[in-house]
Chains A and B, each alone.
Chain A
Amino acid sequence: MAQVLVVTSGKGGVGKTTSTAALGAALAQGGEKVVVVDFDVGLRNLDLVLGAERRVVFDLINVINGVAKLPQALIRDKRLENLHLLPASQTRDKDALTEEGVANVIAELREKFDWIICDSPAGIERGATLAMRHADAAIIVTNPEVSSVRDSDRIIGLLDSKTVKAEHGERVDKHLLVTRYHASRAARGEMLSIDDVLEILSIPLLGIIPESEEVLRASNVGSPVTLSNAHSAPARAYFDAARRLTGDTVPMAVPTENRGIFNKLFGRKAA
């Protein structure tokens, strides 16, 4: 049965689009049929991060308005035949995204794919609530930093009240994805640790993506990091997270940069 995931955070710039691309690609690399849907109407970027920016003809809004059929708007990735993109439009009119239209598109996608991954816009407005509306599960992308953690808490509240599942008395599964994690800075107490974030947000951990230049390099060249450098630390972390999504039990590797005496004494392990 198809799984609808929303990748959300509240705060902007924490890595929603990067994570959507990397997790979508990782799942597709594992043989799953995946579509990533850009809900950031007016500020689309998932096409750019996936290197498909010059192949966009029709978009989500066109499908909702009936200007194009869904198969016409879907872009198949050139490297991964199991990975598809439904781009957002560049129109500034966010009201073009209707509740009914989104419901229809998601229902149609459920019939074609194993995984539907919705890349939410930042904020808690219409675009963000519509992106999470039909989700079975949510990936909350959080940086170990106060404003990001606070906004994630806010988003968790919305997931428990504004989704179709919540309105039917069911629960949206929630997964925490910590990105831009500096192991050494956390060990020195300069940055919130994984334990700190888990204790504050109290949702299960899906993965820890270490801060890495590979992530920027991947977006520079328009390739998910799991494709551009599959052996890099962030790629391995995304692969592990994708496997956990499919139900595999994968031990959580807490990134470490130096295993000196300091780390051994003061480093804290992940839950």
Chain B
Amino acid sequence: MKLFNLFRRGSAPVARERLQILLAHERSARNQPDLLGILREEILAVISRHVAFEPDRVQIKMDRGKSVSTLEVDIEIPNALGAVPTS
């Protein structure tokens, strides 16, 4: 196929490859109904059982990397409101 493309010298194979990669990504995203929203809701539900915090002082971020993706949860817990750490 690669050799074939060399002879063709057209840009269509590039278009085709770009589309295949992009659409594979977009299709998988389409089938996951707001993963970040669900994670946010469930994580906050668990944490709020143990510590008090203000819901708008929460940041959840997801970074998709090539081999590893990271989920960053940043919750600001005010000392006055926060639960007293046990033991």
| Residues of chain A having any CB pair with chain B under 8 Å | 145-146, 149-150, 153-154, 157, 186, 188-193, 196, 199-200, 266
Contact = CB atoms under 8 A, between A and B. Distances in A.
Nearest to A190: B10
Contact of B23 (A186, A188, A200): A200
Contacts of A149: 19
Nearest to B26: A153
B19 A150 contact: yes
Interface string B8-19: 111111011011
Interface of A, secondary structure class, is helix
Contacts of A186: 12
Contact of B10 (A145, A154, A188, A200): A188
Contacts of A193: 12
12 contacts: A145-B15, A146-B18, A150-B23, A157-B30, A188-B8, A189-B13, A191-B10, A192-B12, A192-B16, A266-B4, A266-B7, A266-B8
A36 B71 CA distance: 50
Nearest to A157: B30
Contacts of B30: 157
Given A157-B27, A157-B30, A266-B8, A146 B19 contact: yes
A90 B30 CA distance: 34
B59 interface: no
Interface of B: 4-5, 7-13, 15-16, 18-20, 22-23, 26-27, 30
Contacts of B26: 150, 153-154
A190 B11 contact: yes
Given A189-B10, A190-B10, A153 B15 contact: no
Nearest to B7: A266
Contacts of B10: 188-191
A193 B5 CA distance: 13
Nearest to B13: A189
A146 B15 contact: yes
A188 B13 CA distance: 11
A199 B4 CA distance: 18
Given A146-B15, A150-B19, A189-B9, 7 more contacts: A150-B22, A150-B23, A189-B11, A189-B13, A191-B12, A192-B12, A192-B16
Counting chain B CB atoms within 10 Å of each CB, the highest count among A145, A186, A196 belongs to A196
A145 B19 CA distance: 10
Contacts of B12: 186, 189-193, 196
Counting chain A CB atoms within 10 Å of each CB, the highest count among B11, B15, B23 belongs to B15
A41 B5 CA distance: 45
A37 to B, nearest CB: 28
A80 B20 CA distance: 43
A26 B26 CA distance: 36
Contacts of A196: 12, 15-16
A150 B26 CA distance: 9
B69 to A, nearest CB: 23
A191 B5 CA distance: 13
A61 to B, nearest CB: 32
10 residue pairs, one from A and one from B, having the closest CB atoms? A189-B10, A189-B8, A190-B10, A196-B16, A189-B12, A146-B15, A153-B23, A192-B12, A157-B30, A200-B19
